[in-house]
């Protein structure tokens, strides 16, 4: 069973003009979000996006923007307390 998380406010955006349809985003996405249709990438299954940022980092045409980070409640709480971004920051411990 494929599990979905809260999809309302996902930050993934694809710039169709910059996209060349090389397919790199579809290769690296661990949730199969992208399809390549008629020479362009499409985020057909955006609802499964976990904002890991692999697609953005590996898009050499800068066609993808996503506010990437860890989807970890503990990291978000610790980040808020320490005043840093949401980072696990643990060399040991969690992940």
Closest separation in Å from C-beta 43 to another protein: 13
Task: Identify which of residues 16 and 91 has a Cβ nearer to another protein in the complex.
Answer: 91
Closest separation in Å from C-beta 83 to another protein: 16
Closest separation in Å from C-beta 2 to another protein: 9
DSSP classification of residue 18: T
Beta-carbon count within 10 A of 93 CB: 8
Task: Identify which of residues 39 and 93 has a Cβ nearer to another protein in the complex.
Answer: 93
Any residues with CB less than 8 A from the CB of 20 and at least 6 apart, and which?
39, 61, 63
Residues lying near another protein in the complex (CB under 8 A) are found at: 1, 3-11, 24, 27-32, 48-54, 57-58, 60, 67-77, 86-88, 90-95
Which helix (H) or strand (E) is 13 found in, with range? Answer: strand 13-14
Nearest one of 83, 81, 56 to 68, comparing CA atoms:
56
């Amino acid at each position: 069973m494929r599990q979905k998380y809260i999809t309302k406010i996902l930050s993934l955006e694809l710039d169709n003009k910059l996209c060349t349809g090389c397919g790199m985003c579809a290769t690296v996405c661990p949730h199969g979000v992208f399809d390549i249709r008629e020479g362009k990438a499409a985020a057909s299954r955006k609802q499964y996006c976990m904002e890991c940022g692999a697609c953005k980092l590996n898009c050499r045409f800068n066609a993808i923007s996503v506010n990437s980070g860890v989807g970890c409640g503990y990291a978000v709480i610790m980040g808020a307390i320490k005043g840093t971004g949401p980072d696990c920051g643990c060399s040991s411990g969690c992940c």
